[in-house]
């Protein structure tokens, strides 16, 4: 009877993130050193060939926030929440998603910066503006889930902010 000897193969060790990053850093350092040597060899015959130039990294300027066109704190909050949805993205079926997009309520909460009363008033104002055009809307989340794009949401924020500014 033939017996086959089986070798036990050990599973590779599981590396944590720091160890994997250190290994990749070491590999990239070696590759960069090899590339620098190859560059020097390939340009050694050129008269006046400078070594790899050092490029100073300058931080990108942060764009200045445009001043709010609204005077009242409530209208200003609604405007900032609208801008957050424009910049971070609109989320339909959750408070936020993995890309950073937010729903209208989350945008208001984030821009209220802890002022619960102001956030509550902004939600009431937004729901009133929504119900002017969508009478069957019971809540902001239920209305938001019915939308297919951010356009109606942004327009509702505009209407709500404008209404808070006019007497």
pLDDT digits (tens, 9 = 90+) for 90-142: 998 888 888 989 999 999 999 998 899 999 999 999 999 999 998 899 999 99
Residue 155's CB is within 10 A of a number of other CB atoms, namely: 14
Q: Which of 85, 164, 166, 95 is nearest to 129 (CA)?
A: 164
Q: Are residues 32 and 77 in the same domain?
A: no
Closest C-alpha to 144, from 121, 125, 127, 122: 127
Residue 67, domain member (yes or no): no
Domain count, the chain: 2
In a domain, 6, yes or no: no
pTM of the model: 0.60
- Is residue 58 in a domain? no
Query: What's residue 67's pLDDT?
Result: 76
Domain match, 91 and 142 both:
yes
Domain residues for the domain of 37 are 17-47
Per-residue model confidence as pLDDT tens digits over 42-89 = 777 666 655 556 666 666 665 666 677 888 999 999 999 999 999 999
Residue 20 has pLDDT above 90, yes or no: no
Does 56 fall in a domain?
A: no
Query: Considering just the CA atoms, what is the radius of gyration of the chain in Å?
Result: 29
Average pLDDT estimate for 26-35: 91
pLDDT band at 166 (very low <50, low <70, confident <90, very high): confident
Q: Strand, coil or helix: what is 12? A: coil
Q: Find the length of the chain.
A: 167
The answer to whether position 26 is within a domain reads: yes
68 domain residue, yes or no: no
């Amino acid at each position: 009877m033939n017996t086959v000897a089986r070798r036990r193969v050990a599973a590779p060790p599981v590396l944590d993130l720091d160890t994997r990053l250190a290994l990749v850093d070491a590999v990239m350092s070696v590759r960069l050193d090899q590339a620098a040597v190859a560059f020097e060899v390939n340009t050694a015959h050129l008269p006046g060939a400078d070594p790899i130039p050092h490029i100073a990294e300058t931080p990108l300027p942060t764009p200045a926030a445009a001043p709010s066109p609204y005077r009242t704190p409530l209208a200003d909050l609604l405007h900032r929440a609208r801008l957050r949805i424009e910049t971070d993205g609109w989320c339909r079926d959750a408070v936020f998603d993995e890309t950073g997009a937010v729903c209208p309520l989350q945008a208001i909460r984030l821009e209220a910066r802890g002022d619960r009363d102001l956030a509550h008033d902004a939600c009431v104002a937004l729901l009133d503006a929504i119900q002017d055009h969508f009478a069957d809307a019971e809540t902001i989340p239920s209305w938001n889930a019915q939308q297919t794009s951010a356009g109606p949401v942004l327009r509702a924020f505009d209407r709500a902010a404008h209404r808070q500014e006019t007497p």
